[in-house]
Amino acid sequence: MRDVVIIGAGVIGCSIARELSKYNLNICLIEKDNDVATGISKANSGIIHAGFNEKNGTLKAKFNVEGNRLYDSLSKELDFTFKRNGAFVLAFNEEDLETLHNLKSNGESLGIEGLEILSKEEVLKIEKNINPKVLAALHAKSSGIVNPYEVTIALAENAALNGVDFIFDAEVTSIEKCIDSYKLKLKNNDCLESKVVINAAGLNSDYINNLINNEKYDLIPVKGEYCLLDKIAGNMLNKTVFQVPNKISKGVLVTPTVDGNLLVGPTANSIKDKYSLENTKDNLELLLQKASNSIVNIPTNRILTTFSGLRPHLERKDFIVEELKDNKGFINLLAIESPGLASAPAIALYVKDLVSKTLPLKSKEDFNPYRKRLLRFTELSLDEKNKLISKNPAYGKIVCKCELISEGEIVDSINRPLGAKTVDAVKRRTRATMGGCQGVGCLLPISKIISRELGIDISEVNKNADSSPVVGFKEV
Ligand SMILES: Cc1cc2nc3c(=O)[nH]c(=O)nc-3n(C[C@H](O)[C@H](O)[C@H](O)COP(=O)(O)OP(=O)(O)OC[C@H]3O[C@@H](n4cnc5c(N)ncnc54)[C@H](O)[C@@H]3O)c2cc1C
C-alpha cells in the first residue's frame, strides 16, 4: 500500500512529487509515457508570468504570483536556467493603452512589484526591434523565462533522489474506492493501492476524474502553435514581448528562450482531438503576421522548426485544485492551463496542505534539496575540457555538430536517475538534435549510443514515446 500515488509526470505532478518527497511518505508517480515532460509541459511558451493578467480572487492569480516568487530559489536548488528577463505588453492605440493601465492596477492589487508603463521612446531604447508604431508598453520586471522540460526533469530527478518511485509506461484505466484507500488498475493489468491519489494527468485529468467523481468534466483542447527560430534570430530581443491579451489567451508573444533561440507563438484554436499536434501552413502564416505587429523584420528564413501544445481548457476559466468532497484523499487538478508552469511550485505547496488533511506529514531529516544539472561541455574552459577528455575521451567526440554536444554528455543523459531512453529524451536533456540540421546528422549516432548504453538492439530505439524505431532493421 502506497501513501500517495500521483498520476502524471508533467511539471505539476513532478512539482508535487518533489514537494511531498520532503516528508516521510511512500510515494509513487505513474506516467503513461516512457519519460517525464512528454505532455503539455514539453510544448509551451516557457514564461514564468508576472501574473498581472489573472483576475484577483482566482486560483490562477494566487498560484501565479506565489509561484513566480518561488522560481529564484527553486532554480538555484535544482540548477536549471531561470532568467528574469522582464516582459513588455505593447499598446498601439488608446484602447490598448487603457488595457495596459487596467493590467497594471490589477497586477498591483495582486501585490506584483516592478510594474511600470513606458513611453514609446523608452520602449524603443530598450528593444530596438519593436514595431516603431508602438504607443507605450507595460513593463513587468518580474516576468521570467525557463525551459519547461528542463524544469520538469529537474523536479523529477530531485524527487527520485529523495525516494519517489517513478513508474513509466503505466496508464491508469480504472479507479476503485475502498474503505480508506483507492485501487488503481493500469492498462497492463497491474494494480496499485494508495491512501491518497493525486490526479495531475493534464489533458486526461477529466478522464481520470470521471472514473471516480460524480461531477463529470470535459476538457476542451485549445491548440497553440509555435515557430522556433535559431540563435541568430534569438539576438533580436531581451524581453518577452506580448500584445494586449484577448479573452482566450495572453495573445501572440515573441520571446528569447533560455537557450538563446527566438520563439514566436502561440495561436489559440479550440479543437476536438486531444492528440492532434500537427501544424498548418495557414495558422503559422497568420501567427507570423500577428507577430510582425510587435517585432519588425522577424527573419522567417531562420525558422528551425514548428511545434504545438494543447491547453486543457474549461469554460469556468480557473484552475481546479481540490480534494473531492465525497472521496477523501482524492485530489483533483484540472484545467491547469497557462499560467500552470509559473504556478507549479505554489500549486505543489497547496497540494501538500491538502494531503496533510489525510496523512500526517513528518519532515524527512535527510531530504536533499539539491540536484546538479548535466555537465555542459561547451561551457567549460579549454583547460577544463582538456582535463575532462584526458579522463574520458567520450567528451572529445562531438556527436551533435550544430549544438556541439559530445558523446560523453549523451551517455550522461542516459545513465542519470530517470535517464533518457529515446532520442527525444536525449534531446530534452542535452539539446542534441536541436540545432540547424534538426538531427539529420546525429539521429543515427545517438540511436547507436542509446542502443549500446541500454543494451538493446538499435531496432528497438525510438525517436519518442509514440514513434516507430529510428532504424527499421535488426543489426546482425
Ligand atoms: C500553448 C501553451 C502555452 C503555454 N504557455 C505557458 C507559459 O508560458 N507559462 C505558464 O506558466 N504556463 C504555460 N502553459 C501552461 C503549462 O504548460 C501547463 O499548465 C503545464 O505544463 C501543465 O502541466 P501538467 O503537469 O498539468 O500536464 P502535462 O505536462 O500534460 O502532464 C500530464 C501527464 O499525465 C500523463 N497522463 C495522462 N493520462 C494518464 C493516465 N491515464 N495514466 C498515467 N499518466 C497519464 C501524460 O502522459 C502527461 O505526461 C502553456 C500551455 C500551452 C498549451
33 CA to centre of ligand 1 in angstroms: 13
What is the pLDDT, as a whole number, of residue 475?
Answer: 63
CA dist 6 and 11 (Å) reads: 12
- The pLDDT confidence band at residue 471, using thresholds 50, 70 and 90, is confident
pLDDT tens per residue across span 188-221: 999 999 999 999 999 999 999 999 999 999 999 9
Which residue's CA is the nearest one to ligand 1's atom 26?
A: 202
Provide the 8-state DSSP code for 458: G
Cα-based angle 330, 371, 345 (whole degrees, multiple of 5): 40
What is the pLDDT, as a whole number, of residue 246?
Answer: 75
Of 453, 392, 456, residue with least CA distance to 419: 453
- The pLDDT confidence band at residue 474, using thresholds 50, 70 and 90, is low
DSSP E strands, 258-346: 262-265, 269-270, 303-313, 320-323, 330-334
Cell numbers for 34: 516512457
Interior/surface letters 16-29, b for 16+ CB within 10 angstroms, e for the rest = bbbbbbbbebebbb
148 CA to centre of ligand 1 in angstroms: 10
- The pLDDT confidence band at residue 374, using thresholds 50, 70 and 90, is very high
pLDDT tens per residue across span 335-359: 999 999 999 999 999 999 999 999 9
| Contacts of 65 by beta carbon, 8 Å cutoff, 6+ apart | 50, 51, 54, 110, 111, 112
What is the pLDDT, as a whole number, of residue 473?
Answer: 66
For all residues of the chain together, what is the average pLDDT?
Answer: 95
CA dist 330 and 332 (Å) reads: 7
Distance of CA 448 to the CA centre of its chain: 28
Spatial contact of 444 and 185, defined as CB atoms under 8 Å apart: no
Which residue's CA is the nearest one to ligand 1's atom 21?
A: 41
Which residue's CA is the nearest one to ligand 1's atom 3?
A: 44
Interior/surface letters 446-462, b for 16+ CB within 10 angstroms, e for the rest = bbbbbbebeeeebbebb
CA dist 80 and 74 (Å) reads: 8
Q: 305 exposed, middle or buried (CB, 10 Å; 0-12, 13-18, 19+)?
A: middle
pLDDT tens per residue across span 381-395: 999 999 999 999 999
User: Ligand 1: residues whose CB is within 6 Å?
Assistant: 7-13, 30-33, 38-41, 44-47, 49, 171-172, 200-204, 208, 224, 266, 309-311, 336-342
Please, what is the angle between helix 407-414 and helix 423-430, to 10°? 110
Give the max Cα distance, the chain.
70
What is the pLDDT, as a whole number, of residue 317?
Answer: 85
Q: Which residue carries 538492439 as its cell? A: 457
pLDDT tens per residue across span 375-434: 999 999 999 999 999 999 999 999 999 999 999 999 999 999 999 999 999 999 999 999
pLDDT tens per residue across span 117-173: 999 999 999 999 999 999 999 999 999 999 999 999 999 999 999 999 999 999 999
Phi, psi of 471 (to 5 degrees): -115, 125
CA dist 200 and 313 (Å) reads: 14
CA dist 54 and 40 (Å) reads: 20
What is the pLDDT, as a whole number, of residue 316?
Answer: 85
Cell numbers for 55: 483576475
For the segment 276-286, the average pLDDT, to the nearest whole number, is 93
For the segment 277-306, the average pLDDT, to the nearest whole number, is 95
For the segment 282-291, the average pLDDT, to the nearest whole number, is 95
CA dist 19 and 2 (Å) reads: 17
Spatial contact of 213 and 332, defined as CB atoms under 8 Å apart: yes
CA dist 51 and 42 (Å) reads: 21
10 CA to centre of ligand 1 in angstroms: 6
What is the pLDDT, as a whole number, of residue 466?
Answer: 74
Q: Which residue carries 490598448 as its cell? A: 96
Using the atom order of ligand 1, give the atom closest to the CA of residue 8. Answer: 34
191 CA to centre of ligand 1 in angstroms: 25
What is the pLDDT, as a whole number, of residue 51?
Answer: 98
Spatial contact of 70 and 346, defined as CB atoms under 8 Å apart: yes
Give me the active site residues, please. Answer: 49
Phi, psi of 405 (to 5 degrees): -105, 130
pLDDT tens per residue across span 225-254: 999 999 999 999 999 999 998 776 778 999
Residue percentage of the chain with pLDDT more than 70: 99
What is the pLDDT, as a whole number, of residue 450?
Answer: 97
- Say what the alpha-carbon torsion angle 425, 430, 434, 437 is, to the nearest 10 degrees: -100
Phi, psi of 456 (to 5 degrees): -120, 160
CA dihedral sign, ordered 465, 467, 468, 470? negative
What is the pLDDT, as a whole number, of residue 476?
Answer: 59
Q: Is the pLDDT of residue 457 over 90?
A: yes
- The pLDDT confidence band at residue 174, using thresholds 50, 70 and 90, is very high
Cis peptide before 469 (omega within 30 of 0): no
pLDDT tens per residue across span 59-105: 999 999 999 999 999 999 999 999 999 999 999 999 999 999 999 99
Domains and CATH numbers, the chain: 1-81+146-219+314-373 (3.50.50.60), 87-141+225-309 (3.30.9.10), 377-460 (1.10.10.1100)
